[in-house]
Structure 1
Amino acid sequence: MSVKIRLSRAGAKKRPYYHIVVADSRSPRDGRFIEKVGAYNPMLPADHADRVKLQPEKIKAWLGKGAQVTDRVERFLVKAGLIPERPRPAQTKQHLPKKKAQERAAAAG
C-alpha cells in the first residue's frame, strides 16, 4: 500500500479550506484517509500564522514509515523545516529558438 501525505479539500464553494491528510494513494482526494496531520487555509494572507497548521510529530512518524508527500505539501514541510529541500530538475531548453533561427539571428546581427 502506497501512503501519501496530501491535501483534501473542504470548505464552501469559492471558499477553499484544505486538510493535510495521510491517505492511501488509491483513495479519492476528498475521500477516505488514515489520519489528519494539519490544515491549510489559502484565504488567509501568506504571512498569517494560521495559514498552515502542522502536527510535526505525526508528520515525522509517517515520513519514517515511508509516506510520500505531494508537491504542495512538500513546500509546506520545507518551509516548516521538517524536511530538507530537494533540488529541482533543470529547466528544459524548449523556450529557446531552434537551430535555424539561431543561425539567422547570428547572420543578421
Structure 2
Amino acid sequence: VNPGDNSCILEKYRERFSDNDFGLLSNLYASEGNPGKVIEVKVKRRTGKDNFVSCMRKSLKEHYQDKAVGMGGSFIIQEGKAKLHVMVRLFLIPIKVLSIQLPYILEYKPTRV
C-alpha cells in the first residue's frame, strides 16, 4: 500500500527483493464484493497435458499479456473425479521435517446428495 495516497502498489517480488529463502504459500482473491460480470466455464475432459487452472492461467496471460489481472471463483464438480492439491498445515510441522516429501494430492470424487 502506498503510504502517500493509500493506493495499491503492484510490483514483482523478484524485482524488489533478491532473497528466496522464504515464500509463504497461499491462493488468495480479494474483491470489494460488488456484483459484476461472471465468466462461466464448462469442461468435460482434459484434452492436453495441462490442468484446468494452468489452462485458465495461460488463456488470461495470452489475452492480457503483462497487464495485472485477478480472477477468483468456485469449482463445482458434478461428475467424474479430480486430483486436488490440499495445503498441509505447515505451521504444525517442525521445520526440520519439511524436507520430507509430504502427501498433498487428494483424489476427489463427487457424491450425489
> Given the two structures, how large is their TM-score scaled by the length of structure 2?
0.22
Structure with the higher helix share, 1 or 2: 1
Q: Is the strand fraction higher in 1 or 2?
A: 1
- With structure 1 as the length reference, what TM-score do the two structures score? 0.22
- Greater gyration radius: 1
